[in-house]
Copies of this chain bind each other. A is one copy, B any other.
Amino acid sequence: MLDQLLEETRCSKKQTDKLAQIDKAAIEIFSEKGFANTSTKEIAIKAKVAEGTIFKHYGTKENLLLNILLKFIKVLIPAIKKDLISKLDQQNFITVESFLSYFFKDRVRFIQENQDIFTVFIKEIVYNEPLRKNLVNLHFDEVKYKFFAYFDLFKKNGELANIDNGIILKHMFKIFLTDAIWVFALSDEHKTVDVDKWTAELVGEFLNGMGKK
């Protein structure tokens, strides 16, 4: 399904050098100034490519953005899925802490490696309603149930309270994504982040909240 969308948003098939240059340049400028404030000329110059080349490949500026974000999602989602499944099968995560630590560190690494595109993703998802509806609502359901399986496991083990899985997942995202967005997309704190310490704090927040036991 995602592949299909990806193909539709591209007009040519080959992933040439030029395409990669365009993507790279677009991501960098979009992340810095936002899609709406970036001209295709700017992208063409930074990509060392003629303006026409961008349109040969993507047809419209909008499509270039969509394609970039789809590529991101197309990598992100399967990666999460694969992780969850393989680890689940190996029964590697028997405590919430081991699960969250692994998952969180892994995602942070992923975001760090794709920081610019992550920034573009966040900013445009917030800014652009059609994008929000088409991308997020559409594609994240697939992963949801992998998480739910873990939550059920942790409930059985007595680590998680008997709360609706949807709420738990949402809470997990609040705790984690809010920070990640702030650190990697909105502030400059990403330069001075101690992932281990951060992870420990988040696990505590997630499990115990702010109240005194």
Contact = CB atoms under 8 A, between A and B. Distances in A.
Interface residues of A, number: 37
B211 A159 contact: yes
A34 B174 CA distance: 24
Interface in A82-102: 96
Number of copies: 4
A37 B36 contact: yes
A105 to B, nearest CB: 19
Contacts of A172: 210
Interface stretch (A17-25, A72-80, A123-131): A123-131
A68 B95 CA distance: 49
A107 interface: no
A201 interface: yes
A163 B201 CA distance: 10
Given A163-B210, A167-B205, A206-B210, 13 more contacts: A34-B128, A123-B127, A132-B186, A160-B211, A161-B208, A161-B211, A161-B212, A168-B210, A171-B205, A171-B209, A172-B210, A206-B209, A207-B210
